[in-house]
Amino acid sequence: MAKKVGALTGGGDCPGLNSVIRAVVRYALKEGYEVVGIKNGWKGLIECATMGLNLESVSGILPKGGTILGTSRTNPYKKEGDVEKVKKNFKKLGLDALIVIGGEDTLGVASKLYKEGLNVVGAPKTIDNDLSCTDVTFGFDTAINIATEAIDRLHTTAESHHRIMVVEVMGRHAGWIAIESGIAGGADIILIPEIPIDINEVCELLKKRHSRGKSFSIIVVAEGAKFKEGDLVKQEEKLDAFGHIRLGGIGHALGDIIEKKTGFETRVTVLGYLQRGGTPTAFDRVLGTRFGIKAMELVLKKDYGKMAALQGNEVKAVPLEDAVKELKTVDMELYNIAKIFFG
């Protein structure tokens, strides 16, 4: 009987997921494994919703964004009985191992299940680039390229209308997208979750810029950034399955305050889901492919409880537990480089 490996993609979608799926399938079939696709993340394993994965099903998916398996933010540890369903269906499907492709929350579930006896390995996915033990997660490069292009485009309209342009990008607890796209796009101020916003300092920087004859400015702000002694700006109080509040609105809040305090006309652009959609960059396609191959290698070696990680130029195996223990936040050396260009 052929051995079986399952694959699922959980949490927010991002460019490069299909490259991982494709790599897993191609390598697994080469090694004589049957591949079972689990639909819609952990929800699919709770409900035993699957699809077969073969050469035909992964043909042509490399340049496509999103995930052919579908995704959800389902967390089996949030509802009584769901963990037991996951374990039961793992056995029912005859899986020898499961490759879990996801971010902090999805891989956090994988880490718990490994400790409870399931053969799982992980591949790190998040546009936020906030997973520990890996230099980069796939999806991040595409996101910062999309954000940088948006900032480039906003420069011309900002200059034409003599406006302040506030660009809100994703980044719940870590400002990697904001800092890298902001540097690349020549932003005049970059605001990240790691450093509370001093609105008076922001307004002074804008005034100083205008006093030098500059009639426009670009501000990049991460969605999770917060004002000094203030709360996160939230869309609503509703929590997702992993217990996170929905963020968003910091851009508009910031824009309103700036216009009132400085008198400069201010406009806000929220990039939102544009950052995680569409065709992945070549870098993300290659990185996703390397992660998929490494994940399948770990299955072949029965080296479970590990995650593929990029360290330097090498893809290595790291413990899942270490990867999800704490978030990787922005390197302050990088932030200090950005500050040289502020105002």
DSSP state of 45: H
DSSP state of 77: G
Any alpha helices (H) in 17-71, and if so which ranges? 17-30, 42-47, 55-58
Chain-centre distance for alpha carbon 144:
11
Active-site hit among 128, 130, 188, 284: 128
What distance in Å separates the CA atoms of residue 169 and residue 251, rounded to the nearest whole number? 9
Please report, as a single letter, which amino acid is at residue 281: T
The angle formed by the CA atoms of residues 193, 197 and 203, to the nearest 5 degrees, is 145
3-state SS, residue 115: helix
Cα R_g (the chain), whole angstroms: 22
Has 128 been annotated as catalytic? yes
Q: How many residues does the chain have?
A: 343
What distance in Å separates the CA atoms of residue 248 and residue 234, rounded to the nearest whole number? 5
Chain-centre distance for alpha carbon 309:
15
What distance in Å separates the CA atoms of residue 155 and residue 186, rounded to the nearest whole number? 9
First to last CA, the chain: 66
CB 152 within 8 A of CB 215: no
What distance in Å separates the CA atoms of residue 14 and residue 287, rounded to the nearest whole number? 13
| CA-based nearest residue to 45, from 75, 12, 13 | 75
Active site residues: 128
